[in-house]
Amino acid sequence: MRLPNYGIGTYKLEDVTTLRNVINAVLPLGVRLFDTAQWYCNEHLISEVLSTELPKHGLTREDVVIVSKVHPRNHGYEKARASTLESISHFKYIDMMLVHWPGMHGSAGVDMRAVRTGTWRALEELMQSGQLRGIGVSNYTVSHLEELMEYTTSGPPSVLQSEFHPRCQQAEVRGFCDKHNVQFMGYTPLGRQDLFNKPLVREVGDKYGITPSQVLLKWGLQKGAVTIPRSSKPDRNVENATSWTDGVSLKQEDMDLLDQLNDDHHYCWNPDLL
């Protein structure tokens, strides 16, 4: 399956009131993609909020797309299968289940290829049963992806999720995605707001009369990435979603300006260190 090109992340959105306010702010704007993970400990809360709020907008479970991820501590066939079944129980089915991280804590002396193979096999089986609509990976490098291609029985992953913003442009993994028809999904698109004060970002924003966050989100969307900003504030979510709905596109010359910020900087985990 293919994901919508815009959604919201839910990391650290850990209470029902915040989730309800955020979800009610974005549903009227057409946002239908919600990204979560076992690690976030909020799958059950998202399910609870969607079950009460979707009908108020004339929507059902089938109208939204849920992405979740297998916690690194749940690597390996048995743990991956059991934990994914628990995740599925909250949503009836999951649209896209990702392997969150190619490594795990305490992996010294462990055959991680065998562990990753078992995790992937569990997801393949659950996809074949119809409980997962698609499967993919997160934070995999090209070497991890090439390894996966040696043992997958269902073809390439449907999605690769990775950190993506003008300072971290992921040329190698995006090249792999293009070659194998893998949908690229970018997290931390706002660079933890550090990018807001970059002169180039402000210069482009002033040119179009838009905010720094909207500049950065447009950049990611125009690069073809599924883009998932996260905020606990409803008004900020509306501002972010406007970058997707307002029909304004950055000119190529401004995209090129923003590209100059690339220095392979990771604000989050760096899987290249594995």
In order of 29, 41, 65, 106, 125, the CA distances from 2 in angstroms are 20, 25, 10, 34, 19
- How far is CA 187 from its chain centroid? 5
The set of catalytic residues is 40
Task: Give the separation between CA 83 and CA 73, rounded to whole angstroms.
Answer: 10
Q: Measured between alpha carbons, how far is 200 from 262 in angstroms, rounded to an integer?
A: 12
CB proximity list for 159: less than 8 A, separation 6 or greater: 3, 67, 96, 98, 134, 136, 137, 182, 183, 184, 185, 226
What are phi and psi for residue 165, nearest 5 degrees? -165, 175
- Which residues are CB-neighbours of 78 under 8 A, at least 6 positions away? 118, 122
Phi-psi region of 164 (alpha: psi -120 to 50; beta: other; left: phi over 0): beta
Kindly provide the residue ranges of all beta strands, DSSP E only, lying in 29-81, ordered along the sequence. Answer: 33-35, 65-70
> Is 98 in contact with 161 (CB distance < 8 Å)?
yes
How many CB atoms neighbour CB 59 within 10 A?
14
